[in-house]
């Protein structure tokens, strides 16, 4: 009886952590492969090989490759970009307005540089005509965009920016400028040896960024 109890305890102890670990391993591998090769270019075999998890676990945890892709987008939106909400609160004055925009730009730059696979997936998703995660991406984008609109609308109401400024257009400029700079950074580095990863270039960009949105 003691041996039976002991066997059950050991099995029960190790079974759940392995399951959780395999799920996270698949998610991690998915983020890297979808970023590098895209959804269509990534195979089930690729994911299983990189994650070192049996391919059957993909269907068990995520149903299929598309389900894993959706999980990757959801993870990016819910866990990795949640800092945006805390930044875009109504600005108290002009200095606070500039500081919040600078912080937003700085945090997004850090995100794309430190979480490069997540950043690449977002950029790829921008370019996709059809996506199994279109609803999730729309939620990520629209929630960020709506917060920017509310931020600029509040700034206009408090006379921190001109009353002739359109909050929708400013939100478009803001995200457009940030994403285009991050996409263009690789080309700049190759041709001019200048990158936002360099302290001087980063500081210059962050200094001028709020000025383009006033």
DSSP letters along 120-173, please? HHHHHHHH-SS-TTHHHHHHHHHHHHHHHHHHHHHHHHTTSS-TT--HHHHHHH
- For 10, the domain range is 2-68
What pLDDT, on a 0 to 100 scale, did the predictor assign at position 12? 35
Residues 136 and 162 in one domain: yes
Residues 185 and 86 in one domain: yes
Whether 58 is covered by a domain: the verdict is: yes
Whether 107 is covered by a domain: the verdict is: yes
Whether 157 is covered by a domain: the verdict is: yes
Please list the rounded mean pLDDT of every run of 10 residues in the chain (214 residues). Answer: 39 42 94 95 96 95 96 90 90 97 94 88 86 92 93 96 96 93 89 94 96 91
Whether 169 is covered by a domain: the verdict is: yes
Whether 109 is covered by a domain: the verdict is: yes
Residues 40 and 90 in one domain: no
What does the pLDDT look like over 41-91, one tens digit per residue?
999 999 999 999 999 999 999 999 999 999 999 999 888 788 888 999 999
Residues 116 and 204 in one domain: yes
Residues 105 and 57 in one domain: no
Q: How many domains does the chain contain in total?
A: 2
Residues 136 and 114 in one domain: yes
Whether pTM exceeds 0.95: no
Residues 85 and 189 in one domain: yes
What pLDDT, on a 0 to 100 scale, did the predictor assign at position 74? 94
Residues 57 and 115 in one domain: no
What pLDDT, on a 0 to 100 scale, did the predictor assign at position 5? 41
CA distances from 161 to 83, 127, 131 (A): 24, 32, 38
What pLDDT, on a 0 to 100 scale, did the predictor assign at position 4? 44
Residues 55 and 132 in one domain: no
Residues 136 and 167 in one domain: yes
List of residues 6+ apart from 37 with CB closer than 8 A: 46
């Amino acid at each position: 009886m003691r041996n039976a109890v002991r066997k059950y305890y050991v099995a029960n102890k190790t079974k759940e952590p392995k399951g959780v670990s395999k799920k996270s391993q698949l998610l991690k591998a998915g983020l890297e492969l979808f970023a590098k090769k895209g959804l269509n270019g990534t195979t089930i075999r690729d994911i299983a090989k990189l994650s070192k998890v049996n391919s059957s676990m993909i269907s068990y945890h995520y149903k299929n490759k598309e389900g894993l892709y959706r999980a990757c987008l959801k993870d990016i939106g819910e866990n990795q970009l949640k800092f945006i909400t805390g930044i875009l609160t109504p600005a108290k004055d002009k200095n606070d307005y500039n500081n919040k925009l600078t912080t937003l730009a700085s945090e997004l730059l850090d995100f794309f540089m430190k979480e490069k696979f997540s950043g690449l997936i977002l950029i790829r998703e921008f370019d996709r005509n059809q996506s199994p995660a279109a609803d999730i991406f729309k939620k990520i984008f629209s929630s960020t965009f709506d917060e920017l609109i509310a931020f600029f609308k509040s700034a206009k109401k408090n006379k921190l920016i001109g009353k002739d400024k359109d909050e929708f257009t400013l939100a478009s400029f803001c995200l457009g400028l940030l994403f285009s700079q991050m996409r263009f950074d690789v080309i700049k580095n190759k041709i001019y040896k200048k990158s936002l990863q360099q302290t001087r270039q980063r500081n210059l960009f962050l200094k001028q960024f709020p000025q383009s949105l006033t």
